[in-house]
Amino acid sequence: MSLFESRRGRRVMICVRGQCAPPEKGRNIETLLLELIARHGLDNPDHPQHATCTITNCLAVCEDGPILIVHPEGVKYHRVDETALRRIFEEHILGGQPVESLRAPNSFKRPLFL
Q: Please answer whether residues 47 and 39 qualify as being in contact, where contact means their C-beta atoms are separated by less than 8 angstroms.
A: no
User: Residue 2: enclosing H or E segment and its boundaries?
Assistant: none
CA distances to 2, 60, 67 from 105, rounded to whole Å, are 22, 11, 11
Nearer Cβ to ligand FES, position 83 or 107? 107
Minimum CB separation of residue 67 from ligand FES in Å reads 4
Q: What angle do CA 101, 106, 110 make, to 5 degrees?
A: 130
Nearer Cβ to ligand FES, position 55 or 94? 55
Minimum CB separation of residue 87 from ligand FES in Å reads 20
Give me the residues that bind ligand FES (CB under 6 A), please.
15, 17, 19-20, 58-62, 65, 67
Which of 79, 69, 99, 88 lies closest to 21 in space, CA to CA? 79
Nearer Cβ to ligand FES, position 64 or 82? 64
Minimum CB separation of residue 8 from ligand FES in Å reads 26
The C-alpha atoms of residue 102 and residue 24 are separated, in whole angstroms, by 20
